[in-house]
Amino acid sequence: MANVAVIGAQWGDEGKGKVVDWLASRADVVVRFQGGHNAGHTLVVGNQTYKLSLLPSGLVRGKLGIIGNGVVVDPDALLAEIARVQAQGLTVTPDTLRIADNATLILPLHGAIDRAREAARGAARIGTTGRGIGPAYEDKVARRAIRACDLAEPDTLSRKLDELLLHHNTLLRGLGAETFEKQALLDGLLATAPRLLPFVEPVWERLDGLRRQGRRILFEGAQAVMLDVDHGTYPFVTSSNTVAATAASGAGVGPSAVGFVLGIAKAYTTRVGSGPFPTELTDDVGRMLGERGHEFGTVTGRPRRCGWFDAAMVRQAVKVGGVQGLALTKLDVLDGMQTLRICTGYEVGGTRIGHLPAAPGAQAAARPVYEDVEGWRGSTRGARSWAQLPAQAIKYVRRIEELVEAPVTLLSTSPERDDTIMVRDPFQD
């Protein structure tokens, strides 16, 4: 049996949480491998709704959850999230959750610098969540980050805080923002250490053992390919690599361990925050998609921008993300619409192209080229087999498969975990 990596194939918020939760019933362990608490996964289980940001979604299934070294971890946010889900009845202990000892920590100063820089950008702001994810990744690559393992060494914490404050307080003063005192930060970290360290270990070693035992590993991505810091709509991207290749480096396993790559895409397109969005609809149709799909960011609460399905963008994500199969979500939101549109490419300066360009000016200038598709009158909501779908809905799905050059492996027809049509089990070799 293969392992599976799940990544977003659009701009995030595609419904990865539900798909990972559904797949977790077939897995032994679920691993988060990149991102921070700027990503949110919503899981609906009976009358309970779980909103997760850092915790792996498999915890809801009672599976072992691992936060890999590729994740930047805000200790306060993580402990608050653990307390919240425990209040909902979930069990989260060092027996069910492990954190990589070499994972970078997010400190309060990271959020402060994040928000100060966004404010200084004014109208040119990127649209970050202001939670310090980007600055924490900057410290990681600059080799001054505080990592989870450092919590066990007070002298290391003290020395690293000196270097961090030299850098960040200089920037904060330049931006006219409040600076930080070392002792307050050090006291906070020392108080957090005994609460977090029981979860911390070299997870690469545990994953190697699980892999050798033939256990099924599910790698859970955050954000999506078009928010990848290299391959997305730069600079309106996240601060990590979101493609499936990162599952290996962000968890501490070899590339061959990643297995089947499942990309998640909505049956239409959404985006939170700033940046190019060629198929965006600002009319009544766009508002209707937002209302029907309950399109609000899980973490920020911001309304998502909505538009037609962009096959050219998803095809690009399939190629650079290594996607082998697609999970198509929220098909039911399109029920009853007479005509649907699919973007098949773009026009930029009078030239037809089949991908989003890398240059910001060209991205902003890209205009969608549409193909109209007949909608359907019947309902797809709650369908659990192809036989329960209207014929035109099946044609819509098949046309998407052709345009994105990847098969639809799973089809989600409501937020409920069992309202899913499985064409192929991703864990099957």
- Name which CATH class applies to 265-422: alpha beta
pLDDT of 296 higher than 90: no
pTM of the predicted model as reported, rounded to 2 decimal places = 0.92
Q: pLDDT per residue over 325-361, tens digit each? A: 999 999 999 999 999 999 999 999 999 999 999 999 9
pLDDT at 299: 60
The yes-or-no answer on residue 41 being catalytic is: yes
Q: Sorting pLDDT into bands at 50, 70 and 90, what band is 273?
A: confident
Q: Sorting pLDDT into bands at 50, 70 and 90, what band is 58?
A: confident
User: How far is Cα 382 from Cα 304, in angstroms, rounded to an integer?
Assistant: 24
Q: pLDDT per residue over 298-330, tens digit each? A: 666 678 999 999 999 999 999 999 999 999 999
- Continuous segment of H or E residues that includes residue 116: helix 108-121
Task: List, as one string, the DSSP characters of 56-113.
Answer: -GGGGGT-EEEE-TTBEE-HHHHHHHHHHHHHTT---STTTEEEETTPEEP-HHHHHH
Active-site residue, selected from the candidate residues 41, 110, 168, 231: 41
- Is residue 262 within 8 Å of residue 325, measured between CB atoms? yes
- Is residue 65 within 8 Å of residue 28, measured between CB atoms? no
| The CATH classification of domain 4-101+199-260, taken from the options 3.30.360.10, 3.10.105.10, 3.40.440.10, 3.90.740.10 | 3.40.440.10
Helices (H), 142-283: 154-174, 182-196, 203-212, 246-251
pLDDT at 123: 79
**R_g of the chain computed on alpha carbons:** 22
Q: Report the mean per-residue pLDDT for the chain.
A: 92
Q: Taking the domains of the chain in order of start, what are their residue ranges?
A: 4-101+199-260, 104-196, 265-422
Q: Sorting pLDDT into bands at 50, 70 and 90, what band is 77?
A: very high
61 alpha-carbon distance from chain centroid: 19
Q: pLDDT per residue over 381-425, tens digit each? A: 999 999 999 999 999 999 999 999 999 999 999 888 788 999 998
**320 or 123: which leads in pLDDT:** 320
- In order of 78, 171, 325, the CA distances from 386 in angstroms are 40, 57, 17
pLDDT at 8: 95
| The CATH classification of domain 104-196, taken from the options 3.50.50.60, 3.90.1150.10, 1.10.300.10, 2.60.40.420 | 1.10.300.10
pLDDT above 70: percentage of residues in the chain: 98
Please report where in the chains the tokens 């080799």 appear, as a residue: 143
- Is residue 271 within 8 Å of residue 277, measured between CB atoms? yes
pLDDT of 124 higher than 80: no
State residue 228 phi and psi, 5-degree precision: -60, 140
Active-site residue, selected from the candidate residues 13, 74, 114, 419: 13
